[in-house]
């Protein structure tokens, strides 16, 4: 839903600079994002520096993430369309929820989401399905009336582990080939989501609305 790569690259390079490592380009960082902070630090700062690297990253990220995060094209309109139609929305991200919530607030999206889960709320990262299951528990929607929306193959794996059907959208770090190979429907962008769900016959009349993570 958002582009946080600038903030992530800045925070990662801050951690690397502490160890006199050369800065990475945003494109290099973009290709490595999505599998959890510990993996990112292990790869680009050092496996023997994970704890200190995570601390350095989070200290700097906490200072820059809000100003350096932008909404992806079409997301705001799509979310508002889904909200007006009565969809129950939840967010499951490998970004800690303590960062996700201020970002939602910054774009005036916070009240649209009934749950915001991350590794800091469930104790693990995707593809473990724990945060998706936490979202489902809050949404209260049956699996066959819920779709998980993601932008990388890891999301497809996460959704399957949680027993959810998955829809992937372009706009993240994954290539078109990687998205197609994940074996799920792929939309050209987030703005296509309301029409796609409408073609499924959603939202359903009361009682009950479909949910989406």
| Range name among 29-33, 39-43, 73-77 with the lowest pLDDT average | 29-33
What is the Cα–Cα distance from 26 to 5, expressed in whole angstroms? 7
Residue 56 and residue 91 in one domain: no
Q: At 56, is the pLDDT very low, low, confident or very high (cuts 50, 70, 90)?
A: very high
Number of separate domains in the chain: 2
Residue where a domain terminates, one of 37, 64, 91 = 64
118-139 as b/e, with b when 16 or more CB fall inside 10 Å?
bbebbeebbbbbbbbbbbbeeb
What's the pTM?
0.86
Q: What is the DSSP letter of 23?
A: P
| Range name among 44-53, 76-85, 184-193, 204-213 with the lowest pLDDT average | 204-213
Whether the ω angle into residue 207 lies within 30 degrees of 0, i.e. cis, is: yes
- pLDDT higher than threshold 70 for residue 85: yes
Position 33 scores a pLDDT of: 83
Residue 96 and residue 29 in one domain: no
Residue 115 and residue 146 in one domain: yes
What is the Cα–Cα distance from 185 to 56, expressed in whole angstroms? 38
| Range name among 34-38, 114-118, 127-131 with the lowest pLDDT average | 34-38
């Amino acid at each position: 839903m958002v582009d946080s790569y600038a903030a992530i690259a800045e925070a990662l390079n801050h951690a690397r600079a502490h160890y006199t490592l050369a800065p990475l380009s945003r494109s290099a960082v973009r290709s490595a994002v999505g599998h959890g902070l510990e993996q990112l630090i292990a790869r680009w700062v050092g496996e023997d520096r994970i704890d200190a690297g995570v601390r350095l990253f989070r200290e700097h990220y906490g200072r820059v993430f809000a100003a350096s995060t932008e909404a992806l094209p079409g997301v705001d309109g799509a979310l508002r369309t889904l909200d007006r139609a009565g969809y129950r929305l939840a967010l499951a991200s490998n970004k800690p929820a303590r960062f996700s919530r201020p970002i939602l607030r910054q774009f005036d999206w916070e009240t649209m989401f009934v749950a915001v889960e991350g590794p800091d709320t469930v104790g693990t990262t995707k593809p473990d399905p724990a945060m998706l299951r936490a979202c489902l528990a809050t949404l209260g929607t049956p699996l066959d009336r819920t779709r998980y929306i993601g932008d990388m193959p890891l999301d497809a794996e996460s959704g399957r582990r949680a027993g959810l059907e998955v829809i992937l959208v372009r706009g993240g770090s994954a290539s078109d080939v990687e998205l197609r190979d994940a074996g799920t429907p792929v939309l050209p962008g987030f703005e296509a989501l309301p029409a796609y769900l409408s073609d499924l016959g959603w939202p359903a009349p009361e009682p009950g609305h479909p949910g989406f993570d």
